[in-house]
Structure 1
């Protein structure tokens, strides 16, 4: 299983560099990661290995697709987690996603506090939720996307994957 972690780590390192540079994770990186994860498991484990990789791929893709629909992550992140799942399986990709979201929340909180925008963002959020609950037109939870805070999700994914690795290897 060590080769699987190394293969995924190479893929994640490349994704980190591209995400930091351009805030995107390109298909020319994610597609080979998914296909190579399926191929390695198929060759090393036969049908059972291929099913393991397919289950991980589906778990990672499906979970992040929901987050994409909510506007929390980009499409590259969805395919990134499909690649992680293809290499390391369902349990690992699920743990990685949970830890990554927790790290993203912590990073977002630190950015908001650093920029001293905490009260302004809290007030906007409360007004948005209040307008949504009162069915007011023009106020929805998805309004004002241009004011949403953005940072490369890979900054949260790397510690999330490391945390999942440590947790699952204990």
Structure 2
């Protein structure tokens, strides 16, 4: 991934961070231009190879986050956002951003749980749902009701994940 791709993508991510913090959603007017401009930029800068890299990266980002979306962990805006990140940065960087973002998300989630003094009930719920998932093999069992679900803007984890992935390179 090049420096110009990092900074260009970071501008879109900053807008997504602001929207996610304020409204708990990432609108299409951020995600779609991120994807389209990423595809075009890769094509202009790197020709056919760039377009192939962008398409593969977008597909990888989309599929990885789609799995998390089906499990109820992230919203649809995050799925489209990671397709855009993949278009700008390619498969490997998108995989790294995903791993770092999930790790940061876990830390943020635990900080919230510890701050609310809900550790025991949350751990029992996670163990119960995980055991049910493993025994019944039904991914819907991992979804929790809206009353019990722990929600926070995933962009709070994506932004440091994106920066850490870049620094790792």
- Do both proteins adopt the same fold according to a TM-score greater than 0.5, normalized to the shorter chain? yes
Q: How many equivalent pairs are there?
A: 165
Tell me the CA shift for residue 144 of structure 1: 2.7
| Bigger CA radius of gyration | 1
Distance 1:54 1:132 in 2: 33
1:165 is the counterpart of 2:163: no
Q: Which residue of 2 aligns with 1:90?
A: 91
CA-based RMSD: 1.8
Equivalent positions of 1:29-48 (< 5 A) are 29-48=30-49
Distance 1:23 1:133 in 2: 30
Distance 1:6 1:133 in 2: 41
Stretches of structure 1 lacking an aligned partner (at least 5 in a row) = none
Distance 1:54 1:21 in 2: 30
Mean Cα deviation higher: 69-78 or 143-152: 143-152
Q: Can you list the C-alpha shifts for 1:98-155, whole angstroms capped at 9, x where unaligned?
A: 00000000110111011100011122333444556676xxxx4334343110000000
Stretches of structure 2 lacking an aligned partner (at least 5 in a row) = none
TM-score (norm. length: structure 2)? 0.91
Q: 1:134 to 1:70 in 2, by over 3 A?
A: closer
Runs of 4+ in 1 over 4 A off after TM superposition: 129-135
Q: Which residue of 2 aligns with 1:104?
A: 105
